[in-house]
Amino acid sequence: MTFDPLSPEVRENPYPFYADMRVNDPVSFCPTVNTWAVTRHEDVKHVLKNHQLFSSDPLIQIAFGEFNPAPGAPYLLSSDPPEHSRLRKLVATAFSKKFVDSIAASIEKMINELLDETSPKDGFDLMDALASPLPVTVIADVMGIDASMGPTFRRWSNQVTVGVNQTISTEERAAIQQDAREFRAYFIDRIAAARRNPGSDIISALVRQEEGAVLTPDEVMAMCVLLLIAGNETTTSTLGNAILLLTQHPDQRKLVLQDPSLTPALVEEVLRFISPIQMLFRRATEDVVINGVSLPKDTIVMPVYASANRDEAVFERADQFDVTRGDISQHMAFGHGIHFCVGQALGRHEATVALRILLRRMPQIACDFSSLQWNDSFYLRGPKHLRVAAA
């Protein structure tokens, strides 16, 4: 099987391709994206934990390409120590468990309000009604920006994460470029407002670091863009993927309905089984060998998180969706090493509470699979649209 992450066959279902590569070609070249895919759990972990050998610097260029709203600025995701250590320290405490606990009641209120606006009997688009607006609303509140901008933020996020190698038309390219310019312009204005009238939000905190010469203006911009995008992509996809899987596996839904305390385990198994971030990118800083394959310095390496999370050498019955699986702490849905997702506690909490409430209100939720559209980015996986109704 030839693995091309841009092909319709892979976009429809990449997992048979991952399984084939793990057995027959665990470190394989992908010409359409000019990278080497690394698919076994052990090798993915090796790449992610050895940041000295595998730099993160190509990540934003590949992920955003020409549509980067903050070009030239070092992003947290694509920086290496010591820059990475400095940037991560500035936001780590903002997404601690203590912080998540402090906004838990607000998150639950948001979920119920969003679901109150739906019509379970007639059906609604899960992504538009809940999965997309929830994390965007939460992160907007944390950043001190107008929640009514949520749909616009979601569009900007979807557009700029299309990726450098995605095949798009001239018209689509122009529309994405316009969105990237609007994305940047919005935060230029918002950061300027925080300088004039600082508050208790994250943007104001970043501006104070800028004024203290800890951050540059471009770094403040990049951090704002990253927080908004990273603050919604994983949770949005996890919610959509969870409802898809529960509909496809009624025995697992029955278990969670009978015992809601399984909901956190459900979230972890969804993250493992359909990883929202399928793969990311690294650059070899010197000549390296991965699983017997020699790669020269500056080779772009693509650790495939989604494949590692289905590796039979680590996860028994890896292709079986099982909410009672037990300890699956070795899954890599949030990465590994120094780039382990700084917002994972918030994302896990949002998904757990949203699924618990949704299943309580719609225990026999059903999906209209004809409405399913996967998102546009080749390195992300989750529904773009999915209609559901109370069965």
Say what the pLDDT of residue 268 is.
Answer: 97
Distance of alpha carbon 61 from alpha carbon 68, whole angstroms? 8
Instruction: Give residues with Cβ within 8 angstroms of 284, minimum separation 6.
Output: 53, 54, 55, 295, 296, 297, 298, 299, 301
The pTM (predicted TM-score) of the whole model is 0.91
Distance of alpha carbon 33 from alpha carbon 280, whole angstroms? 12
Say what the pLDDT of residue 63 is.
Answer: 77
Say what the pLDDT of residue 163 is.
Answer: 60
| Chain centre to alpha carbon of residue 323 | 21
| Chain centre to alpha carbon of residue 214 | 27
Say what the pLDDT of residue 165 is.
Answer: 53
Distance of alpha carbon 72 from alpha carbon 348, whole angstroms? 31
Whether 347 and 276 have beta carbons less than 8 Å apart is answered as no
Instruction: Give residues with Cβ within 8 angstroms of 88, minimum separation 6.
Output: 76, 338, 342
Cross-strand partners of 294:
289
Cis peptide before 82 (omega within 30 of 0): yes
Q: Could you report the average pLDDT of every consecutive run of 10 residues in the chain (391 residues)?
A: 89 95 97 95 98 91 80 84 87 81 93 95 95 90 82 80 67 86 89 89 85 79 82 89 97 97 97 96 97 97 98 96 92 94 92 98 95 89 95 81
Say what the pLDDT of residue 222 is.
Answer: 86
Could you give the strand order of the β-sheet that contains 124-125, starting from the edge strand earlier in sequence? 124-125, 383-390, 365-374
DSSP state of 162: S
Whether 362 and 274 have beta carbons less than 8 Å apart is answered as no
Q: Classify each residue of 82-102 as buried b or exposed e, where b means 16 or more C-beta atoms within 10 Å of its C-beta.
A: eebebbbebbeebbeeeebee
Quick count: other Cβ atoms within 10 Å of Cβ 251? 10
Instruction: Give residues with Cβ within 8 angstroms of 21, minimum separation 6.
Output: 1, 3, 28, 37, 39, 307
- In the numeric block, which tokens belong to residue 176? 């994405």
- In the numeric block, which tokens belong to residue 380? 């992300």
Please state, in angstroms and as integers, the Cα–Cα distance from residue 258 to each residue in 198, 226, 254, following that order.
Answer: 48, 38, 6
Ordered domains of the chain (ranges, CATH): 8-26+33-390 (1.10.630.10)
Say what the pLDDT of residue 86 is.
Answer: 86
Instruction: Give residues with Cβ within 8 angstroms of 153, minimum separation 6.
Output: 136, 140, 228, 232
| Chain centre to alpha carbon of residue 116 | 26
Instruction: Give residues with Cβ within 8 angstroms of 385, minimum separation 6.
Output: 125, 127, 128, 371, 372, 373
- In the numeric block, which tokens belong to residue 85? 């250590």
- In the numeric block, which tokens belong to residue 193? 């407002």
Say what the pLDDT of residue 302 is.
Answer: 97
Say what the pLDDT of residue 387 is.
Answer: 97
